[in-house]
Structure 1
Amino acid sequence: MIFATGSLSQANAPEFPGASGYRGRLLHTADWPGDADLRGKRVGVIGTGSSGVQAIPALAEQATQLTVFQRTAGYVVPARNHPLAPTETDTIEADYPTRRQALRESYGGWHLPPPLGPVAEVPRDEGLAELQRRWAIGGLCVQSAFSDVMTNPEANAVVADFVRGKIRAAVDDPATAEALCPQHFPIGAKRLCVGTDYYETYNRDNVELVDLRATPIETFTPDGIRTSARDFGLDAVVLATGFDAMTGALSRIDIRGRGGRRLRDAWAAGPRTYLGVSVAGFPNMFVLAGPGSPSVMSNVVVSIEQHVEWVRDLLAHLTDAGAGTVEATAEAQDRWVELGNQIAAGTLYPQADSWYLGANVRGKPRVFMPFLGGVGTYRGICDGVAADGYKGFTLG
């Protein structure tokens, strides 16, 4: 049984007081109906993570009035999407096998400029110039300007201050700009958002930002939303509240292992896996790109490919051995979970209430779920397990 249910596939829709009595249209970015037409409407958006960052600029062009209800300000870097010139694609395709192999051996499974080194060893002017160069390139490369951004608070602060400066430069109203500046967690500790004209959208006359930390939502009303400060009339409300990540899809399936034990019970205190692909007590079950693997901390396509190929080879090994079952041992699983926890504890990632830890879902245990050792390192570990006769597994 191979679960390819996805790490970001189960929508997270928090319950808001009064929502059942709201007479307008209630939508979720992860479950968007084909007949949704918000042109000329008064629209509210709750959430400014990746889903909100992508939706808000597009909704602002359609809505008569767009009200953004921000729960936590996030760091947003420019996507810089653009048509690829034939010369660019020709260059990539000319050396495609080498590029693909480089992805498999890299930390995140993507092509990024190498970091300058630790922030303490980089002159300030040189570091700021490098950040500016990466900002112009776009995407996630800003986060990796220095080699210690996710382990050293001082390096992280340099990058965070740079991005906050970009926010203040992009947003005309100083109060709105400050509300959009993240202050409470390291940059990158929550998923870095990639957007197009996100901050510039707040300069439009039809867009208003509501900081829910200052004026929280009290209830939905039949005609909109009431915060502690005022009522907002809304024809539609869009929940950009993301996903029950990593475990959400699996916990909603009645998966039972040895002795009838449910997977959701085995994971009641947080997910436990061996290599992120197998669970002790659940023979012949595999999870692709799930908790305990690089998964969402990587180019997920690269990680999925690695898991598919590795599980394929294990199944061939079972056939050759004449075995009917394969199961991770509890001891191997414990060691793997401990290793993942040790690596995460040496970083700044646990310092944010992120969906990496399940903090966005009420009642979900706070456990850092992805493996932070890197795609290349992880691949080497998995290959070593296979070469050692699938050490940590019991064949029966």
Structure 2
Amino acid sequence: MSTQLETSPVSSDTGKVTFLDAMVIGSGVAGLYQLHRLREMGLKVRAYDTASGVGGTWYWNRYPGARFDSQAEIYQYWFSEELYKSWQPTERFPAQPETEEWLNYVADRLDLRKDIQLSTRIVSAHYCEEKGRWNVTTEAGETINTQYLIACCGMLSAPLTDRFPGQSSFRGEIHHTGLWPKEGVNLKGKRVAVIGTGATGIQVIQTIAPQVGSMKVFVRTPQYIIPMRNPKYSKEDWEKWGSRFHELKKRVRETFAGFDYDFDAGPWAEKTPEERRAVLEKLWEDGSLALWLASFPEMFVDEQVSEAVSAFVREKMRERLQSKPELCDLLIPSSADYGFGTHRVPLENKYLEVYLQDNVEAVDCKKAPIEKIVPEGIQTADGKVHEVDIIIMAVGFDAGSGALSRIDIRGRNHRSLKEQWQQEIRTAMGLQIHGYPNLFTTGAPLAPSAALCNMTTCLQQQVDWITGCIDFSRQHGKHTVEATKDFEDSWVQHHDEVAAKTLVVKTDSWYMGSNVDGKPRRLISYIGGAGNYHRRCDEIAAEGYPGFAMA
């Protein structure tokens, strides 16, 4: 149970001051669990969120077709077997409304709402060295004074909205998928443009195709895809998964990407071409991300293996476009583009078949890039104006670093996190940043949770580590925790050395920050494996948190 919050009124210009032991930014998967853990410690804690409801990414991303691509049985909280068994998913990959409902269920079950303040945008957080505390301000003028500041802002929560000149001139509607209206958008019979064909764009395109009058898809980067297999789950199915709770809980913490599957096929070099093909076929038929994250890890480091796996996927995709072979060059990556798995791999449901419809046109943005938005629609570099009623922007996010960079965060000596990250993005294991005492982060750069992990696995692990670190420092009479410069330097060096061995760093993608103009190039996610990362975190905790100075 949390204690009553202490507030002190000040002038009407600045609103009130709320004094806390700990403050959590965000009420998604990580924020809800972090609030729960800190309350268990008896701390005076409150979570704040810009949204009007809990759920984090599952509150904001309510675009048509939104669903996660981690199986329901492992996209879970692991601290309570009872909680796991009491919720009944309807299918293997539930859609956004069900996931949002599940997170609301968790908030109610744990009685978290009384310590969550919604519809509150955090605009600044300044560290006071003299007091060893953070002064946080909201857009409404409220001040929160807190000892610990835990950022659970999300790794994909800073949408890139102003992408093209002239957007404000458009006479129709423009909607970013990450800011989709709660009331929905009427697409029936409309002329719709979709910009972007990443994981989100694919979900939108395949979902709205039967509704719209016509659709133009602006394609710049073709995607390797995997067909999703999404069976319904019965009560009996879920009871079977529930009986494996402890097995799954242990398993996901040990694997490369926090899923229940891993690279168990054996070395590529030791298999015959027929054996390799059999592995790929089996995982393709599974209809999950297993082909990417549980086939052959050599695809990430060996160009020949990468090309072999990529060719397999290209072959599967071409089979579906036989009636319009001219679409293959536009929708299927070539060997000259990038290798399978070095980009985010989307799951899909008859996505390619959409382009076989008479009312759907794929616009080649490599030949004629989008030049600007005009009142009638979208103008491309060849001078053509594509007239539409609605523009859907599936153009992504400032991933990993964007959510924190959009808050004016200032640490010791008034240093600015935004300015630092404009020069170089660096953290200490994605858990802290040197120069910002008592600021802890989840889903931040240089941790697996920034991109390369089943999010519930890695976010919970980070929350547990942060909670343990705060508890350790308090038990030892310490008031501040800060990653040392030496420790941060060593982690950044290790992170870069591991990344440099892979083909991922040779591919332009949001993994490398390539989608944001001027963003420093660095793989935002640790690629040494979630299991290895978790073991290293456990070792640091067991050794008394070396590398994290406490005072």
Query: TM over 0.5, yes or no?
Result: yes
Is 2:414 the counterpart of 1:265?
no
Superposed, which structure 2 residues align to 1:306-325 within 5 Å? 306-325=461-480
Moved more, 141-150 or 114-123: 114-123
> 1:6-45 to 2 correspondence within 5 Å?
6-33=154-181, 34-45=183-194
Q: Is the 8 A contact 2:513 2:521 kept in 1?
A: yes
Q: What is the rounded CA distance, in whole Å, between the counterparts of 2:297 and 2:221 in structure 1?
A: 27
Query: What is the aligned partner in structure 1 of residue 456 from structure 2?
Result: 301
Equivalents in 2 of 1:284, 1:300: separation in Å? 23
CA contact (8 A) 2:226 2:289 kept: yes
Deviation at 1:269, TM superposition (A): 2.3
Q: TM-score, with normalisation over the residues of structure 2?
A: 0.70
Q: How does 1:108-257 map to 2 (within 5 A)?
A: 108-112=257-261, 114-143=263-292, 144-171=294-321, 172-183=323-334, 184-229=337-382, 230-257=384-411
Q: Deviations over 1:79-116 (max 9, x none)?
A: 21120244533332212101111111111110226442
Quick check: 1:70 aligned with 2:215?
Answer: no
* Aligned match of 2:139: none
Which amino acid letter does the alignment assign opposite residue 7 of structure 1?
M
Matched, 1:4 2:155: no
Is the contact between residue 190 and residue 349 of structure 1 (CA under 8 Å) also seen in structure 2?
yes
Give the Cα separation in 2 of the matches to 1:364 and 1:156.
Answer: 27
Cα deviation, 1:179-213, whole Å, max 9, x if unaligned, reads: 11112111111111111111111111111111100
Residue 23 of structure 1 aligns to which amino acid in structure 2? Answer: R
Counterparts of 2:319 and 2:495 in 1: how far apart (Å)?
39
Residues in 2 aligned to 1:299 and 1:258: alpha-carbon distance in whole angstroms = 34
Rounded Cα–Cα distance in structure 1 between residues aligned with 2:403 and 2:262? 34
Distance 1:14 1:168, change over 3 A: farther
1:220 aligned partner, one-letter code: I
Q: What's the secondary structure of 1:149's corresponding residue?
A: helix
**Alpha carbons of structure 1 residues 228 and 279: separation in structure 2 relative to 1, 3 Å:** closer
Q: Map of 1:371-390 to 2, 5 A cutoff?
A: 371-390=526-545
2:506 equivalent in structure 1: 351
Aligned-pair Cα RMSD in Å: 1.4
Deviations 1:279-316 (A, max 9, x none): 11100000012111111201111111111111111111
Deviation of 1:4 (Å): 0.3
The reply to whether residue 282 of structure 1 matches residue 436 of structure 2 is yes
Question: Which residues in structure 2 correspond to 1:96-111 (within 5 Å)?
Answer: 96-111=245-260
Distance 2:466 2:295 in 1: 35
Question: How many pairs align?
Answer: 396
Q: Deviations over 1:198-254 (max 9, x none)?
A: 111111111111110012222222211122343211011110001110001100001
- How far apart are residue 117 of structure 1 and its match? 2.7
Q: 1:239, 1:375 → 2: CA distance?
A: 31
Q: Distance in 2 between matches of 1:87 and 1:158?
A: 40
Q: Residue 50 of structure 1: which of 191, 199, 202 is its match?
A: 199
Contact 2:429 2:491 in 1 (8 A): yes
Q: Distance in 1 between matches of 2:216 and 2:508?
A: 24
Q: Percent identity?
A: 37
Q: CA deviation at 1:14?
A: 4.3
1:18 to 1:268, Cα distance in 2 relative to 1, 3 A: closer
Q: Does 1:61 align with 2:205?
A: no
Letter in 2 for 1:278: Q
Instruction: Give, as a single letter, the amino acid of the residue that structure 2 aligns with 1:320.
Output: Q
Quote the Cα distance in structure 2 between the aligned partners of 1:19 and 1:370.
32
Instruction: Measure how far apart 1:277 and its partner are.
Output: 0.2
Separation of aligned partners in 2, 1:218 and 1:324: 53
Q: Where does residue 92 of structure 2 map in the other structure?
A: none
Unaligned runs of 5+ in 1: none
- Report the Cα distance in structure 1 between the residues aligned to 2:371 and 2:244, rounded to whole angstroms: 57
Give me the whole-angstrom Cα distance separating, in 2, the residues matched to 1:316 and 1:17: 50
- Which amino acid is the alignment partner of residue 309 of structure 1? D
3-state DSSP class of the match of 1:105? coil
Secondary structure at the residue paired with 1:218? Answer: strand
Structure-1-length-normalised TM-score: 0.97
Tell me, in whole angstroms, the C-alpha distance in 2 between the residues paired with 1:112 and 1:204.
36
2:74 — aligned with what?
none
- Aligned letter for 2:282? R
Aligned 8 A contact 2:432 2:482 in 1? yes
C-alpha separation between the residues in 1 aligned to 2:524 and 2:485? Answer: 18
Give the AA of the match of 2:479: G
Does the CA contact (< 8 Å) of 1:22 and 1:221 recur in 2? yes
Q: Which has the higher contact order (CA 8 A, sep 6+)?
A: 1
- Equivalents in 1 of 2:262, 2:480: separation in Å? 44
